[in-house]
């Protein structure tokens, strides 16, 4: 059943004509062309489909489009502002924190969500906050460093 | 212009009707310039690369020097996180003496790039990269000759030896105002050179780019979500496919009822060969539709499960292949004062890349285009052509980024599946395996049993070593320790016996993980019995092996190893080995929680001699990846199954390494820049199981003989210790 769903997508008020039960991840990828949101397991275990819903990291494979109605939704494509990369993105580049890059968008959005709540996380807090995002290439150490580095810039500290 | 835009532009130039062109025409279409095709035939340098170049038309690769001064490398290698998109241009820029920023790379496109056997086995740098360097060196020689002619005047005839090149500008060594750029040299020319001569590559002291760390050039594409993987392709009218799958491997379909799926609007049922699929323009609906298909199956039984498999492998391993023999085992036994006999087990494990096998396919007239997450564009092209009964010239594979491979994407049945569906339906199709399909149809690392019998003489030296490998591969099976009496056999099942209930294949550092776990565990078993320090015991058996000795000593120094008799209670472990030409040792420090059996690896030092290091940071990142990924097969990963039914279905029951596992990792690279480059993406992973098993023994006195070293097994071993 097609319905109209309104939401704010990457800063732009957006109206979708869509079956509200469509899995949010597939809607983003296949209907909206936002393919930076990746499919890895489809059951909430890997985190590669992570997006921000009202600044909260969520797994878009576990949600329907209707869950995003009226909310602010951020995908990896919407993270850079006015052509400037988000501090977490910059920190990932600087630390070479991606290999195949497939888990990377989900990692970055989960990290942004974490930093919005806790701008100065300890190593232990970063690990706890990131624990359920999986990377098969083994980039964890560099991601931890990137998140701590980005937190400093987000708080107005050293620019990356 | 950004690198990616340039590539797109370059590709779009000849997209109008690429099928009408042969390679030479295609080169012309690129807009003139110097095209160097190379087929270096120095077999010692190139090994399999040269052999294949001969077979497939005499060319390993080509590069183009355009009139805009840009250099483009066309390669059949693909990027799956291991970094050739960064390191291959570095090698090229250095040999050609151009600025790295002026090098573009086009990867994995079977129309544009020359044949390549695939991206695996740590071959990209050590074989292909060397060939490419040689070609670039030859290209430079050609350009210098052209420049000499251009810069000569009536009263001064120049020879190449009088010239130098800096950032693509050729000038007189004595007067750099007399110069000409590569771009101007190739201006308006259409030259096709094939170089086959003896290459002369730069020495380490002459290198300007190689040996200096570079960040991954694809980083920005990846952190912004712009990097395109095969499932990111969207074609007009594209349909999403799901395939009806058996409940277990090898099951035969007896009957099928698709009426439930057909009742859903827009669903089509497609039969192609043995395959039944549902397709729909929405992936969600394809998922619903597949769940409505009812099929009955006749399943095969094999009477094996994850417990009894190890005996099954030994029982069926009746075809003996001798890998190495030296001295006499009988004599060794006579000289032994202590004897050891131990069986080691290693289960099936999955590659589990986060990107499942995926492909998108479309027919344009006769011609088929496929974007597939794969490590082997050319062999896959052949597989697809054969399955569809079309010529391989009509199949074009094109894919730059693959979301992790680790050996699991050497085989790409999804490409054949999607192509068959596209052929049958005449529609563009996308197929992304579910995680459950990924586990079920993965070519798993084979389970293996290893039985080692050994003896120590009165001086605590190894007098004999009898290594019997069942079902595992031979990589890393023979020992490099100096042992006077030894035998290594690989015991395989006869051809007519189906040994494994699943497809098996190469898993990062194939079989060397298994062999190194067994060998290095057994070494420390003996070291402890001899009352010797684990490092010293190894060095005692490596007296003639300077390379491994140096690797071990450098690692020990970084780690801060101090001699002790095991178990020392410190939780220190070592393992070393040779893989893809690289000598590697790993030292770990761990904590074992004796109440829960939980292991935390606190620190890992990787020491390796891999010859020429092109991008040191890239190498360090690969070693870090090896340590972390290696902890998975070491501590948790194990496929559960019954008969040919896979019980492991998703990441909830197949635990791969997580953030909290991350140890502090340090990497020591032995300086050997004038030696040929060896493998970098795999070697360190082979040591993880052995190093951690040895550290568990060192911490607790409990020895484990079966990977993964799970808490349950640790508790069991502790109870016995
Ligand atoms: S795809 Fe959503 S958590 Fe794995
Ligand atoms: S970078 Fe490959 S899965 Fe994380």
One DSSP character per residue, B606-640 reads EEEE-SS-S-HHHHHHHHHHHHHHHHHHHHT----
Give the closest of A37, A46, A137 to B81, CB-based.
A137
Confidence category of residue B129, pLDDT binned at 50, 70, 90: confident
Please check whether residue B207 lies inside any domain of the structure.
no
- Average pLDDT of B438-443? 96
Distance B347 CA to ligand 1 centre (A): 26
Q: Which residues contact B225 (CB under 8 A, 6 or more apart)?
A: A34, A35, A36, A37, A75, A76, A77, A105
Q: Ligand 1: list residues with CB < 6 Å.
A: A 39-42, 44-49, 59, 61
Structure confidence by residue, pLDDT tens digits, B362-395: 999 999 999 999 999 999 999 999 999 999 999 9
Beta bridge partners of B372: B359
- Average pLDDT of B226-253? 96
> Touching check for B82 and chain A: CB below 8 Å?
yes
- Full residue range of the structural domain in which residue B255 is found: 230-299+357-432
The CATH number linked to B21 is 3.30.365.10
B185 with B330, same domain: the answer is: no
CA dist list (Å): B49 to B15, B46, B128, B399, B507: 29, 5, 7, 21, 22
Listed range (A129-143, B17-31, B101-115, B329-343) with the worst mean pLDDT: B17-31
Chain A positions touching B404 (Cβ under 8 A) are: 99-100, 102, 136-137
Nearest to B93 by CA among B33, B53, B133, B59: B133
B542 with B409, same domain: the answer is: no
Residue B402's closest chain A neighbor by CA? A100
pLDDT at position A140 = 98
Confidence category of residue B61, pLDDT binned at 50, 70, 90: low
B420 with B453, same domain: the answer is: no
Q: How far apart are the first and last CA of chain B?
A: 65
The total of other beta-carbon atoms located within 10 Å of residue B16's CB is 9
The CATH architecture to which A3-78 belongs is: Roll (3.10)
**Domain range list for chain A:** 3-78, 87-154
Please check whether residue B269 lies inside any domain of the structure.
yes
B171 with B238, same domain: the answer is: no
pTM of the entire predicted model: 0.93
Please check whether residue B208 lies inside any domain of the structure.
no
> Touching check for B114 and chain A: CB below 8 Å?
no
B504 with B415, same domain: the answer is: no
Please check whether residue B185 lies inside any domain of the structure.
yes
Whether B16 has a pLDDT exceeding 70, the answer reads: no
pLDDT at position B34 = 64
Assign residue B108 a region: left if phi > 0, alpha if psi is -120 to 50, beta otherwise?
left
Beta bridge partners of B268: B279
pLDDT at position B121 = 75
Instruction: Count the domains in chain B.
Output: 3
User: Which of B381, B408, B432 marks a domain boundary?
Assistant: B432
- CB–CB of A39 and B432 under 8 A? yes
Please check whether residue B129 lies inside any domain of the structure.
yes
Distance B351 CA to ligand 1 centre (A): 17
Give the closest of A89, A101, A134 to B658, CB-based.
A134
Min Cα distance A154 → chain B (Å) is 17
B152 or B35, greater pLDDT: B152
Structure confidence by residue, pLDDT tens digits, B337-350: 999 999 999 999 99
The parts of chain A modelled with pLDDT lower than 50 are none
B664 with B554, same domain: the answer is: yes
How far, in Å, CA of A75 to CA of A88, rounded? 14
CA dist list (Å): B569 to B560, B572, B591, B602, B695: 16, 8, 10, 15, 9
Chain A positions touching B218 (Cβ under 8 A) are: 101
Q: ∠ CA B652-B655-B661 to the nearest 5 degrees?
A: 130
Fold match between domain A3-78 and domain A87-154: no
B341 with B484, same domain: the answer is: yes
pLDDT at position A37 = 98
B367 with B428, same domain: the answer is: yes
Q: Among A24, A101, A104, which would you mutate to test the B interface (most chain B Cβ atoms within 10 Å of its Cβ)?
A: A101
**Pairing mode, if any, of strands B599-609 and B664-669?**
parallel
Third-level CATH fold of A87-154:
DNA polymerase; domain 1 (1.10.150)
Please check whether residue B210 lies inside any domain of the structure.
no
- CB–CB of B354 and A100 under 8 A? yes
Ligand 2: nearest atom to the Cα of A98: 1
pLDDT at position B191 = 62
ipTM of this predicted structure: 0.98
Confidence category of residue B133, pLDDT binned at 50, 70, 90: confident
B172 with B239, same domain: the answer is: no
Percent of chain B whose predicted confidence (pLDDT) is above 70: 90
Q: Which of A48, A76, A133 to mutate to test the pocket of ligand 1 (most atoms within 8 A of CB)?
A: A48
Q: ∠ CA B289-B293-B299 to the nearest 5 degrees?
A: 140
B574 with B507, same domain: the answer is: yes
- CB–CB of A40 and B229 under 8 A? no
B154 burial type by CB count under 10 A (0-12 exposed, 13-18 middle, 19+ buried):
exposed
| Contact between residue B96 and residue B88 where contact means Cβ atoms under 8 Å apart | no
How far, in Å, CA of B718 to CA of B721, rounded? 5
B340 with B237, same domain: the answer is: no
Structure confidence by residue, pLDDT tens digits, B252-309: 999 999 999 999 999 999 999 899 999 999 999 999 999 999 999 999 888 899 999 9
Percent of chain B whose predicted confidence (pLDDT) is above 90: 78
- Average pLDDT of B627-638? 98
User: Which of B405, B432, B459 marks a domain boundary?
Assistant: B432
Whether B18 has a pLDDT exceeding 70, the answer reads: no
B314 with B294, same domain: the answer is: no
Residue B352's closest chain A neighbor by CA? A136
User: Which of B200, B216, B247 marks a domain boundary?
Assistant: B200
Ligand 1: nearest atom to the Cα of A45: 3
Chain B positions touching A102 (Cβ under 8 A) are: 229, 353-355, 403-404
- CB–CB of A21 and B404 under 8 A? no
Q: Among A136, A145, A150, which would you mutate to test the B interface (most chain B Cβ atoms within 10 Å of its Cβ)?
A: A136
């Amino acid at each position: 059943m097609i319905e109209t769903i309104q939401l704010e997508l990457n800063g732009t008020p957006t109206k979708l004509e869509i079956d509200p039960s469509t899995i949010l991840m597939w809607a983003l990828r296949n209907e909206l062309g936002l393919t930076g949101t990746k499919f890895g397991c489809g059951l909430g275990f890997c985190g590669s489909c992570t997006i921000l819903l009202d600044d909260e990291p969520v797994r878009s494979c576990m949600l329907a489009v209707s869950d995003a109605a009226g909310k602010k939704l951020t995908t990896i494509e919407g993270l850079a502002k006015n052509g400037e990369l988000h501090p977490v993105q910059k920190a990932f580049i600087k630390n070479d924190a991606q290999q195949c890059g497939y888990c990377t968008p989900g990692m970055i959005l989960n990290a942004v969500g974490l930093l919005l709540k806790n701008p100065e996380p300890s190593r232990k807090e970063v690990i706890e906050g990131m624990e359920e995002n999986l990377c098969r290439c083994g980039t964890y150490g560099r991601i931890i460093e990137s998140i701590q580095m980005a937190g400093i810039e987000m708080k107005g500290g050293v620019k990356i | 212009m950004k690198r990616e835009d340039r590539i797109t532009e370059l590709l779009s130039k000849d997209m109008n009707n690429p099928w009408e062109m042969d390679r030479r025409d295609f080169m012309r279409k690129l807009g003139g310039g110097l095209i160097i095709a190379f087929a270096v035939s120095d077999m010692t340098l190139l090994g399999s690369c040269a052999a294949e170049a001969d077979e497939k038309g005499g060319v390993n690769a080509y590069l183009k020097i355009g009139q805009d001064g840009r250099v483009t490398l066309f390669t059949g290698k693909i990027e799956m996180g291991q970094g050739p998109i960064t390191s291959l241009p570095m090698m090229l820029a250095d040999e050609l003496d151009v600025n790295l920023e002026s090098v573009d790379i086009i990867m994995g496109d079977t129309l544009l790039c020359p044949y390549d056997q695939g991206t695996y086995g740590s071959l990209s740098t050590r074989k292909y990269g060397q060939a490419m360097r040689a070609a670039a060196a030859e290209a430079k020689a050609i350009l210098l000759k052209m420049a000499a002619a251009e810069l000569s005047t009536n009263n001064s005839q120049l020879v190449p030896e009088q010239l130098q090149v800096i950032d693509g500008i050729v000038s007189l060594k004595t007067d750099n105002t007399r110069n000409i750029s590569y771009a101007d040299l190739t201006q308006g020319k259409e030259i096709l050179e094939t170089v086959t001569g003896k290459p002369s590559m730069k020495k380490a002291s002459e290198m300007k780019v190689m040996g200096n760390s570079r960040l991954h050039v694809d980083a920005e594409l990846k952190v912004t979500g712009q990097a395109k993987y095969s499932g990111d392709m969207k074609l007009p009218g594209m349909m999403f496919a799901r395939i009806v799958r058996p409940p277990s491997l090898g099951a035969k379909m007896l009957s099928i009822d698709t009426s439930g799926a057909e009742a859903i609007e827009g669903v089509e049922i497609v039969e192609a060969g043995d395959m039944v699929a549902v397709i729909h323009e929405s992936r969600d609906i394809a998922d619903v539709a597949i769940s409505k298909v009812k099929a009955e199956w006749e399943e095969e039984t094999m009477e094996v499960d994850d417990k009894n498999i190890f005996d099954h492998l030994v029982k069926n391993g009746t075809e003996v292949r001798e890998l190495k023999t030296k001295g006499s085992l009988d004599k060794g036994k006579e000289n032994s004062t202590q004897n050891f006999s131990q069986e080691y087990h290693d289960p099936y494990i999955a590659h589990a890349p986060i990107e499942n096998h995926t492909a998108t396919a479309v027919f344009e007239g006769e011609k088929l285009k496929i974007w597939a997450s794969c490590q082997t564009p050319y062999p896959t092209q052949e597989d697809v052509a054969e399955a569809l009964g079309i010529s391989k010239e009509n199949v074009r594979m094109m894919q730059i980024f693959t979301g992790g491979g680790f050996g699991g994407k050497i085989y790409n049945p999804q490409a054949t599946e999607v192509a068959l569906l596209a052929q049958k339906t005449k529609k563009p199709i996308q197929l992304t395996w579910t995680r459950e399909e990924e586990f079920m149809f993965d070519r798993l690392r084979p389970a293996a049993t290893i039985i080692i019998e050994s003896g120590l003489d009165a001086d605590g030296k190894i007098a004999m070593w009898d290594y019997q490998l069942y079902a595992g591969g031979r990589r890393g099976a023979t020992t490099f320790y100096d042992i006077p009496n030894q035998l290594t056999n690989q015991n395989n099942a006869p051809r007519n016996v189906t040994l494994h209930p699943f497809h098996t294949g190469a898993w990062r550092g194939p079989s060397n993980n298994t062999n190194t776990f067994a060998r290095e565990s057994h070494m420390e078993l003996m070291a402890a019995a001899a009352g010797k320090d684990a490092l010293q015991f190894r060095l005692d058996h490596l007296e003639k092996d300077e390379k491994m000795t140096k690797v071990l000593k450098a690692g020990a120094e970084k780690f801060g190893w101090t001699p002790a008799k095991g178990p020392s209670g410190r939780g220190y472990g070592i393992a070393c080995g040779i893989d893809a030409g690289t000598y590697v040792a790993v030292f770990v420090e761990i904590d074992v929680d004796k109440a829960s059996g939980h292991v935390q690896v606190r620190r890992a030092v990787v020491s390796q001699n891999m010859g020429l290091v092109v991008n040191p940071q890239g190498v360090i990142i690969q070693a870090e990846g090896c340590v972390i990924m290696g902890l998975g097969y070491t501590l948790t990963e194990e496929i559960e199954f019954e008969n040919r039914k896979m019980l492991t279905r998703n990441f909830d029951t197949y635990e791969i390494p997580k953030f909290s596992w991350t140890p502090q990792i340090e990497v020591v690279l032995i300086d050997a820049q004038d030696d040929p480059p060896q493998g970098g993406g795999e070697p360190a992973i082979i040591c993880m199981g052995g190093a951690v098993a040895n550290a568990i023994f060192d911490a607790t006195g409990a020895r484990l003989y079966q990977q993964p070293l799970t808490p349950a097994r640790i508790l069991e071993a502790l109870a016995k210790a």
